[in-house]
Amino acid sequence: MNLIESSDYNDLSRKAANVISAQVILKPDCVLGLATGSTPIGTYRQLIEWYNKGDIDFSKVTTVNLDEYCGLSPDNSQSYRYFMNHNLFRHINIDIKNTYVPNGLAKDYEEECRRYDNLISKLGGIDLQLLGIGHNGHIGFNEPDVSFEKTTHIVHLDESTIQANARFFETIDEVPKKAITMGIKSIMQAKKVLLIAGGPDKKGIIERALHGPVTPDVPASILQFHPDLTVVYCFE
Ligand code: GLP
């Protein structure tokens, strides 16, 4: 485990973007596993800046996102597809056809989960998976007590996750209660994992996840067993 402390959110974002940009430079046709939430926004902003300077080329990169809310269309401003288009994809030279997010409007969610798993395996797996962490230790939308054996699946979101995500919606009733997420097994199969956590409110859960017992109560704790884990954090 490689633990990298940063001085503030900008420093965290620059360091995380450096790791991602090194991956793209070393393997221009890499598969990046991407995440949503507020933490990665600065990382994406930094990548866009370096792209604009001519330092990174995304033309051969493929991306697969961790998760999507059930029932939200790609043009709903709270959907994760919308988030990715607006915070990253439309600002860089990635081919949008090579960007994948689970389909929140799939008619058959079980089939969508299998399609997503097949897609990842056809792409040859994920070279670098970026992760944020929820206050209860969730990664993607793998809530506490999830089986570590799961690949892509449907989850019922925890009350605490619904509360935490309510800040993005007009009313709490609008927050979707279900989501499609890559499972812990899918995440653990990524060749490299980059976990980012910023803010004093993440200190406790990061300590439990990285230094506490490995348990489904804290889904992120399984990352202690990942052979190539980098954690960039700042608790200021
Ligand atoms: C959501 C996402 C997670 C993310 C988490 C934390 O629940 N599904 O992937 O890690 O939020 O988000 P934030 O970075 O806003 O704290």
Contacts (Cβ under 8 Å, ≥6 apart) of 31? 61, 62, 63, 64, 120, 123, 124, 125, 126, 127
Whether ligand 1 lies within 6 angstroms of the CB of 140 is answered as yes
Minimum CA distance residue for ligand 1 atom 5: 134
Kindly give the distance from the C-alpha atom of residue 87 to the centroid of ligand 1, in angstroms, as a whole number.
Answer: 15
Provide the pLDDT confidence category of residue 75 given band limits of 50, 70 and 90: very high
52 is catalytic: no
Question: How many other C-beta atoms can be found within 10 angstroms of the C-beta atom of residue 68?
Answer: 27
Q: And the tokens for 66?
A: 């961790």
Tokens 């995380």 map to which residue? 16
Minimum CA distance residue for ligand 1 atom 11: 37
Instruction: Assess whether pLDDT exceeds 90 at residue 182.
Output: yes
Whether ligand 1 lies within 6 angstroms of the CB of 137 is answered as no
pTM of the shown model = 0.96
Distance CA 154, CA 183 (A): 9
User: What is the per-residue pLDDT for 236?
Assistant: 86
Task: Decide if 191 contacts 127 (C-beta within 8 A).
Answer: yes
Whether ligand 1 lies within 6 angstroms of the CB of 36 is answered as yes
Q: State the DSSP H helix or E strand holding residue 192, giving kind and residue range, or none if neither.
A: strand 192-198
Q: Where in the chain are the domains?
A: 2-234
Task: Decide if 179 contacts 161 (C-beta within 8 A).
Answer: no
User: What is the per-residue pLDDT for 180?
Assistant: 98
pLDDT in tens, 190-221: 999 999 999 999 999 999 999 999 999 999 99
Kindly give the distance from the C-alpha atom of residue 128 to the centroid of ligand 1, in angstroms, as a whole number.
Answer: 18
Kindly give the distance from the C-alpha atom of residue 133 to the centroid of ligand 1, in angstroms, as a whole number.
Answer: 6
pLDDT in tens, 79-124: 999 999 999 999 999 999 999 999 999 999 999 999 999 999 999 9
Whether ligand 1 lies within 6 angstroms of the CB of 141 is answered as yes
Contacts (Cβ under 8 Å, ≥6 apart) of 200? 235, 236
CATH fold, domain 2-234, is Rossmann fold (3.40.50)
Contacts (Cβ under 8 Å, ≥6 apart) of 190? 33, 125, 126, 127, 128, 129
174 is catalytic: no
Provide the pLDDT confidence category of residue 164 given band limits of 50, 70 and 90: confident
